[in-house]
Amino acid sequence: MPSKSKHKTYLLRVDDLDIPVKIFKERRNSIRASLGKHHAILRLPLFLNRKEEQDQIDRFYVWLKEKVLVEDRFKRRFIKKQYKTGYKFQLYDKEYGLRIDYSRNKNHSAKYLGAGIIWIKLAIGVDLEEAEKDISTLISRVIAKLYIGKITDRVQRINDAYFGQNIKSVKLKYNRSNWGSCSTSSNINLSTRLLFAPESVQDYVIVHELAHLLEMNHSKRFWKIVSEVMPDYKKAEKWLKTNGHECDF
């Protein structure tokens, strides 16, 4: 029988941070607190009464303060970005800055002005905070154009050295759900977020996707192919699991 699960999502204020929280009520005997990429998560048994449930939420609040506020790597996960003119980020050895203006156009747009400046033009009347996701996507499109040649060359070099397969295309896209994908049509898609990772980690994701040209699933054969090319691939996987949430614009 599938487990019954209900959840509520809300913001929990912990000092000066608004932390998105998901509380699940499930068929389980234990209580579990964890930190996901975008939410703090509390899993509670269905049999708790209202007072017991509130007691656990209060403990969860204390746990969050001790976990998030003490360790910078967790705190940074929940600090909300505030895009504005002058916002800067580092990619490889180059610093990029934003110039944000409004236009009378219905759609947002972006282009690279040179000298590390990315010019974002937002449709007039749009609030900066509301446009956060749009701005991330616009930055990604500019960065993709700047780095697609570099990444394509690396994909081709790794393919030529270890796989020798036909690659139809290599694309960089702003993807937050995965680091890369490989289609049955031999298209390799990589997330622009991957550019923030060390090159050895980027190479692992490239190897992972190229291996799918030989084996489309994650079978034992697939992992054998990956490990033959990159025996220490698990180090890259661990890096992404630990630091991946910081790979963003």
Per-residue b/e over 22-45, b at no fewer than 16 CB within 10 Å?
bbebeeeeeeebebeeebbbbbbe
Residues 198-221, mean pLDDT to the nearest whole number: 97
Per-residue pLDDT band for 8 (boundaries 50, 70, 90) equals: confident
In angstroms and rounded to an integer, the radius of gyration of the C-alpha atoms of the chain is: 22
Residue ranges and CATH numbers for the domains of the chain are: 5-78 (no CATH), 88-246 (3.30.2010.10)
Quote the tokens at residue 107.
């759609």
Task: Tell me the per-residue pLDDT of 159-184, one tens digit each, with 9 for 90 and over.
Answer: 999 999 999 999 999 998 899 999 99
Residues 70-91, mean pLDDT to the nearest whole number: 80
pTM for the whole thing? 0.76
Task: Tell me the per-residue pLDDT of 133-157, one tens digit each, with 9 for 90 and over.
Answer: 899 999 999 999 999 999 999 999 9
Beta pairing class for 17-26 and 40-45: parallel
Q: What is the pLDDT of residue 73?
A: 67
Q: What is the pLDDT of residue 3?
A: 46
